[in-house]
């Protein structure tokens, strides 16, 4: 626990409950709030106050930090590390990366997006012993979902330095988040269901949305399900100012390399979408920053650029970062790889 967090604890206020008087209610993405809640709640002013998404400050309605973390229009401007970095690595060491994705969207939506990334790199079979076919995955989806939700609800978002990280290795999946255990709380107590909530605003919204079933049961359920599935016991570690939750897999999970007589560049070319082709074209002459590439592509919506253009190009090795060791650097640019140049020639 940091000194600032200790002070807030003494004062009886959490980081995500604090108002942001420099902002207005208009800084919340109300469309994202409505999309998340759907018909669960009518989102009038009183509801937003009750959920502590808004707070009264000097006769004004302003968003709380929790509201901006959850649904802010410019979340990463105020909290640069509120995103999730997902990576699939070769083997059991975090050295050679096979695939990655950066997830930057309203927090409630990130849960399913992380699960989609994990499923992308898992195997799916079928249990035919039941009357109806039941899909059986090679990774424990229920456990992993709880671990991801736990990281989002209990991260110390007041700290800066790194996003939440989800690392998929051959023998385990690790989820790292900022913030060690709160004072007086031990791993053993967590296993028994003892819980202290670091971010009550985020937790309340997750509860309302059905992402959390019952307070204090998530970690206990994780350990119980691991035992039921015959998995090694998950591990919770405090590393510097971060918390690492490791989920071990039943069997090693090596990356399958597809066999094909087709040349590698031809295989990749068949995966290239029209959006990726356009990105390759604008990067043909020189390396560009994200904003420069968006301008060249006549795009205004950053998520569209990230998820339809940049991430697919990065994931199949057609585009690379100029600063791969500092992916969030403000001076980061992107350029064509040798494979990208070859594919660009092939699709002409």
User: Residues 78, 115, 102, 123: what is their CA dihedral angle, to the nearest 10 degrees?
Assistant: 170
Q: Which helix (H) or strand (E) holds 81?
A: none
- Secondary structure class of 33 (helix, strand, coil): helix
Dist. CA 26–CA 289, nearest whole Å:
29
215 in Cβ contact with 195 (< 8 Å): yes
In this prediction, residue 262 carries a pLDDT of: 40
Dihedral sign, CA of 18, 23, 29, 33?
positive
* CB within 8 Å of 4: residues ≥ 6 apart: 158
DSSP 8-state symbol, 258? P
235 in Cβ contact with 191 (< 8 Å): no
Q: Taking the model in full, what pTM does it have? A: 0.71
In this prediction, residue 294 carries a pLDDT of: 94
Q: Which helix (H) or strand (E) holds 192?
A: none
In this prediction, residue 272 carries a pLDDT of: 79
238 in Cβ contact with 178 (< 8 Å): no
* CB within 8 Å of 218: residues ≥ 6 apart: 146, 149, 150, 195, 212
Q: Which of 306, 320, 309, 298 is nearest to 276 (CA)?
A: 309
303, burial (CB in 10 Å: exposed 0-12, middle 13-18, buried 19+):
exposed
Cβ atoms within 10 A of the Cβ of 309, count?
25
Dist. CA 278–CA 316, nearest whole Å:
15
In this prediction, residue 264 carries a pLDDT of: 44
Domains recognised in the chain with CATH numbers: 3-78 (no CATH), 84-248 (3.30.565.60), 264-346 (1.10.10.10)
Cβ atoms within 10 A of the Cβ of 267, count?
12
Radius of gyration of the chain (CA): 22
In this prediction, residue 73 carries a pLDDT of: 93
For the chain, how many residues are written? Answer: 348
In this prediction, residue 314 carries a pLDDT of: 86
Q: Which of 68, 65, 76 is nearest to 164 (CA)?
A: 76
User: Tens place of pLDDT for every residue, the chain, 348 residues?
Assistant: 555 555 655 556 799 999 999 999 999 999 999 999 988 888 899 999 999 999 999 999 999 999 999 999 999 899 989 999 999 999 999 888 888 888 989 999 999 999 999 999 998 775 555 555 556 789 999 999 999 999 999 999 998 878 999 999 999 999 999 998 887 788 888 887 777 889 999 999 999 999 987 666 789 899 999 999 999 999 999 988 899 999 999 999 888 654 444 444 444 444 578 888 999 999 999 999 999 999 999 988 887 888 778 988 887 889 999 988 887 788 999 999 988 998 888 766
């Amino acid at each position: 626990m940091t000194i600032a967090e200790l002070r807030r604890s003494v004062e009886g206020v959490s980081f995500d409950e604090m108002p942001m008087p420099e902002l207005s209610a208009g800084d919340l993405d109300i469309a994202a709030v409505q999309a998340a809640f759907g018909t669960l709640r009518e989102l009038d002013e009183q509801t937003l106050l009750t959920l502590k998404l808004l707070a009264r400050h000097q006769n004004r309605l302003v968003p709380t930090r929790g509201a901006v973390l959850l649904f802010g229009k410019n979340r990463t401007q105020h909290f640069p590390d509120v995103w999730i970095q997902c990576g699939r690595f070769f083997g059991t060491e975090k050295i050679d990366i096979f695939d990655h994705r950066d997830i930057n969207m309203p927090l409630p939506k990130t849960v399913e997006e992380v699960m989609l990334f994990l499923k992308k790199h898992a195997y799916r079979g079928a249990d035919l012993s039941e009357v109806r076919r039941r899909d059986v995955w090679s990774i424990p989806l229920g456990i992993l979902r709880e671990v991801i939700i736990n990281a989002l609800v209990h991260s110390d978002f007041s700290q800066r330095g790194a996003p939440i990280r989800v690392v998929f290795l051959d023998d385990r999946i690790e989820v790292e988040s900022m913030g060690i255990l709160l004072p007086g709380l031990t791993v053993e107590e967590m296993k028994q269901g003892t819980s202290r909530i670091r971010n009550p605003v985020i937790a309340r919204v997750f509860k309302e949305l059905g992402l959390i079933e019952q307070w204090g049961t998530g970690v206990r359920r994780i350990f119980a399900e691991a035992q039921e599935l015959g998995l090694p016991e998950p591990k919770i570690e405090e590393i510097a100012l971060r918390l690492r939750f490791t989920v071990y897999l039943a069997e090693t999970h090596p990356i399958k390399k597809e066999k094909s007589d087709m040349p590698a560049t031809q295989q990749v070319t068949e995966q290239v979408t029209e959006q990726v082709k356009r990105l390759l074209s604008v990067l043909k002459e020189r390396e560009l920053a994200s904003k420069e590439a968006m301008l060249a592509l006549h795009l205004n919506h950053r998520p569209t650029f990230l998820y339809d253009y940049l991430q697919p190009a990065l994931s199949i090795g057609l585009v690379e970062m100029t600063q791969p060791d500092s992916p969030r650097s403000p001076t980061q640019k992107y350029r064509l790889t040798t494979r990208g140049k070859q594919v660009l020639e092939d699709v002409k």
